[in-house]
Amino acid sequence: MKKKSSSVKRKNLKNSIFSPQIRNKRIKKIYQRFEFLIKQKEFKGFLVAVSGGADSLALAYLSKYYQIKNKDNNFHYVHVDHKLRDKSSKEAGTLKKILRKFKIECKIITWKKKTNTKKTQSDSRDYRFKVFEGFCKTKKINTLLLGHHFDDFQENFFIRLLRGSGLKGLVSFYNYRNLQRNNINIVRPLLDFSKEDLLYVTKNTFNFHIDDPSNRSLEYLRSRVRFMINDLKKNGLDQKKFKMTFENLISSNNSIEFFVQKNICENSYISLSKNNNKAILSLKFLRNTDEIVFRSFTKILQDISGRYFPARGKGVSRIIYQIRQKSLTKTTIGGCVIEKIENSVVIYRENTK
């Protein structure tokens, strides 16, 4: 029986529309790393985020091949049409047709914003994650795959550097290779590979991708940073040197995180339930160094609110200062209410008390 099953499996792979590409050494190396990473944990079903760019299409290819190889039908492919550009709906339709030729059924979800307010990239990002979380819950799957790559990670580092981020902010994106929010695993299995690598995969599989002109517009900080990094590469910044520096930063960050967790465990009480997330902080919570308190407070806010992205750093620092100066009574930030009650600070989710 085992021999027969193995024979059938090889036959399915041989007849797969994707089988010629996997014999390419470069693509095979990327696939093997992808397969290793998503086999590391107990994942129950996958949502593959497909923006239509070269990186997300490479992710779609790798996911589909994994799906065929492992006979796993619990894969879902979703594209969110934000309608930020006039051609976005037409591009979404083309994307759906091309993926269908490769036996990938991609669900298109359109953002129908009721108000006339201007849609921003930040709004779109928040909406997209809400869509993904809702989809995962509906389908009862627990893993979201995103196509972020090394270039995204490097750009994010310099963006945060220009904004004056601290150590945690500088290293956080790489630590987001695999995290969990609202019981959903958010996995970025392609962070070890460059944009060039993923363009190569997409060109040799689908030979198609959506080119978003905003990626080259100097109106956006990310585009300006991208050009800056290209200049730095010409002056000696390579991937190996960047990673070496970054690993040193991660080591320092991990040391601080030890004391952050210690502060949370020893000086706070946290209760997480379906409709009543709450945290109570003792006065000792605030007697640690500024960085420890800031990180601990931010982490608790994120856990209580259930939001994917943390509250703004300036707002968090302002509230900590007010608590220490005994001038805070009640305020809100990051989807949470913060209230000073006697000798404790109480934090709970907005609109739930």
Q: CA nearest 190: which of 203, 205, 180, 200?
A: 200
CA distance 155 to 158: 5
Q: What is the pLDDT of residue 10?
A: 54
Which position has the token pair 């594209």?
A: 79
Q: How crowded is the C-beta side of 139, counted as CA atoms within 13 Å?
A: 23
Q: What is the pLDDT of residue 120?
A: 60
CA distance 345 to 318: 15
Q: What is the pLDDT of residue 117?
A: 52
Q: Phi, psi at residue 175, to the nearest 5°?
A: -70, -15
With vertex at residue 21, the alpha carbon angle to CA 16 and CA 24, rounded to the nearest 5 degrees, is 140
Q: What is the pLDDT of residue 18?
A: 67
Exposure of 21 by Cβ count < 10 A (0-12 exposed, 13-18 middle, 19+ buried)?
middle
Q: 256-349 maps to which CATH number? A: 1.20.59
Q: What is the pLDDT of residue 8?
A: 47
Residue 311 — left, alpha, or beta (φ > 0 → left; ψ -120 to 50 → alpha)?
beta
Tens place of pLDDT for every residue, the chain, 353 residues? Answer: 444 455 545 555 555 666 767 788 999 999 999 999 888 777 889 999 999 999 999 999 999 999 998 888 899 999 999 887 788 889 999 999 999 999 999 999 988 765 545 556 667 777 888 899 999 999 999 999 999 999 998 999 999 999 888 888 888 777 667 777 778 889 999 998 999 999 999 999 999 998 877 777 778 888 899 999 989 988 888 888 898 998 999 999 999 999 999 999 999 999 887 678 999 999 899 999 999 999 999 999 999 998 877 888 889 999 999 999 999 999 999 999 999 998 899 999 987 54
Q: What is the pLDDT of residue 7?
A: 53
Q: What is the pLDDT of residue 353?
A: 46
Q: What is the pLDDT of residue 12?
A: 56
Q: What is the pLDDT of residue 169?
A: 83
Q: What is the pLDDT of residue 309?
A: 78
Which position has the token pair 């760019």?
A: 53
CATH superfamily of 2-237: HUPs (3.40.50.620)
**Domain residue ranges of the chain, discontinuous segments joined by +:** 2-237, 256-349
